[in-house]
Amino acid sequence: MKPTIRDIARLTGVSKSTVSRVLNNSTNVDPATRERVQRVMAEQGFVPDRMAMQLARGEKRFIGMLLPTLTWSFMADILQGVASIVEMSGREIILYTTTPFKDFSHVVDRVIATNLISGMLASFHTQSPQHLISLQQRGLPLVIINMPAARLSVPWVSVDNRAGGMLATQHLLKLGHKRIAFLFPATDLPCFHDRYEGYCLALREAGLEPDPALVLYDDGSVSKCLQEMRAMSEKPTAIFSSHDHLAYSILAIVERFGWRVPDDLAIVGFDDMIPPFPAQPALTTVRQPFYEIGQCAAEMLLSMLDPRYAPSRNWWELSVSPALDQSATPHHDEQTWPSLHIQLPVTLSVRDSCGASHSTLNQPAG
């Protein structure tokens, strides 16, 4: 049995509160008593329960992190980014997961009821975080991570989805494509509409008006979208898939419809996730910096919890969000936090699914 504070108090002939004061390095302890208590602790191999001590002092050294599932490939990168920052702050992470498409409010309430956490990081992709927003409005320090489901008035970190849509479409345009299809997923979230808006902007900048016939909607069957494309009198030569899961689904079945990638059909995705299977050709995709998103969210929350905390990077300068006042210093002015939105830039990971041979596509022969 591990010795407890009660055991140390009995062996040294002092009260439990005196032992606690020794553990907390209180100056209100007689030096001889302190020495005796410390000697008995060493003899008994006593290891203090830091969590209990922090709770006794009213300290909350834990950060709650709420994720929908750990099976999504990019969740590991987000979590590693958060951990790389939190572990250097002297705090700890308590991780909670929820089931997608189910109400998570009861999980949040149980987390808050433990009275352990000082703040919370949360990521949702299928649900409204309204319950968390109401708790934030009542004083819970909160940062939403990569939340695409709403335009929120709470602090959040994500990426510039519209710029990513432009980047993907501009790449296809530079390769000579003009008939570029856009594939929406079954889940209707604002981030996908932002990517579509970027797609439209890039087309218009190139002097092309977006064709509604080239906007396809996945209803759970990617093959249906490919059938629609094959039935078009003027078929698309490229697809911009709004996320990588759809893009990999296309790669898995596209040959059944008479297309070879990239010779007949170029494909660009969005996320840069780990493929669910060895995909050939390798997917060109817009990369979301998931590790950096986790780091940024953690530093936002730590800055909210401690105005003295100095972030390792100036995330506010990296942000492309127009909602951010660049002259503000959020970690010193808590009034800027409730509406702070940080959108990190994206990059394009160019691989084989577009094909360099398309650089002469639609160009006059000879």
123 in the same domain as 77: yes
Please check whether residues 169 and 242 belong to one and the same domain.
yes
Residue with tokens 């990190």: 344
CATH number for 105: 3.40.50.2300
Q: Tell me, yes or no, whether 81 and 179 share the same domain.
A: no
Do 194 and 308 reside in the same domain of the chain? no
Residues 192 and 260 in one domain: yes
Q: Tell me the pLDDT band of 356, cut-offs 50, 70 and 90.
A: low
Asked if 120 and 240 sit in the same domain, the reply is no
Domain membership of residue 315 (yes or no) is yes
Instruction: Verify that 353 and 222 share a domain, yes or no.
Output: yes
Query: Does residue 159 register a pLDDT over 80?
Result: yes
Cis-peptide into 262, omega within 30 deg: yes
Task: Supply the pLDDT for residue 139.
Answer: 85
Mean pLDDT calculated for residue range 158-170: 95
Q: Which residue has the tokens 């004061």?
A: 21
Report residue 112 CA to chain centroid gap: 22
Q: pTM of the prediction?
A: 0.77
DSSP E strands, the chain: 62-67, 92-97, 117-122, 142-145, 156-159, 180-184, 215-217, 238-241, 266-271, 284-287, 341-344, 347-349
What pLDDT score does 83 carry? 94
Residue 15, pLDDT > 50, answer yes
Phi-psi sector, 300: left (phi>0), alpha (psi -120 to 50), beta: alpha
pLDDT digits (tens, 9 = 90+) for 268-277: 999 998 887 7
Q: Is residue 54 part of a domain?
A: no
Q: How confident is the model at residue 167 (pLDDT cuts 50, 70, 90)?
A: very high
> Per the domain annotation, does 48 fall within a domain?
no
- pLDDT category at 187 given cuts 50, 70, 90 is confident
Give the Cα-Cα-Cα angle 290, 295, 300 (nearest 5 degrees). Answer: 125
How confident is the model over 197-222, as pLDDT tens digits? 999 999 999 999 999 999 999 887 89
What does each C-alpha distance from 243 to 58, 192, 239, 278, 299 come to in angstroms? 45, 8, 11, 17, 27
**26 located within any domain:** yes
Whether residue 201 lies inside any domain: the answer is: yes
Give CA–CA dist 155/300, Å, rounded.
Answer: 8
Asked whether residue 355 falls in the same domain as residue 215, the answer is: yes
> Across 91-225, where does the E strand assignment appear?
92-97, 117-122, 142-145, 156-159, 180-184, 215-217
Domain residues for 77? 62-154+290-344
The answer to whether residue 248 is domain-embedded is yes
* 119/121 Cα distance (integer angstroms): 7
Q: Is the pLDDT of residue 101 over 70?
A: no
Task: Quickly state the pLDDT bin for 50 (edges 50, 70, 90).
Answer: low
| CA separation for the pair 251, 351 (Å, rounded) | 14
Work out the average pLDDT over 148-157: 70
Give the Cα-Cα-Cα angle 238, 243, 248 (nearest 5 degrees): 70
pLDDT at 244: 94
* Domain match, 110 and 180 both: no
Q: Is residue 139 part of a domain?
A: yes
Cis peptide bond N-terminal to 281, omega within 30: yes
One domain, residues 141 and 190: no
Contact present, 312 and 99 (Cβ < 8 Å): no
Average pLDDT score, the chain: 83
Tell me how many domains the chain contains: 3
Are 265 and 280 contained in the same domain?
Answer: yes
Same-domain pairing of 106 and 124: yes
Q: 252 in a domain, yes or no?
A: yes
The pLDDT, as a whole number, for residue 59 is 56
pLDDT average, residue stretch 233-252: 94
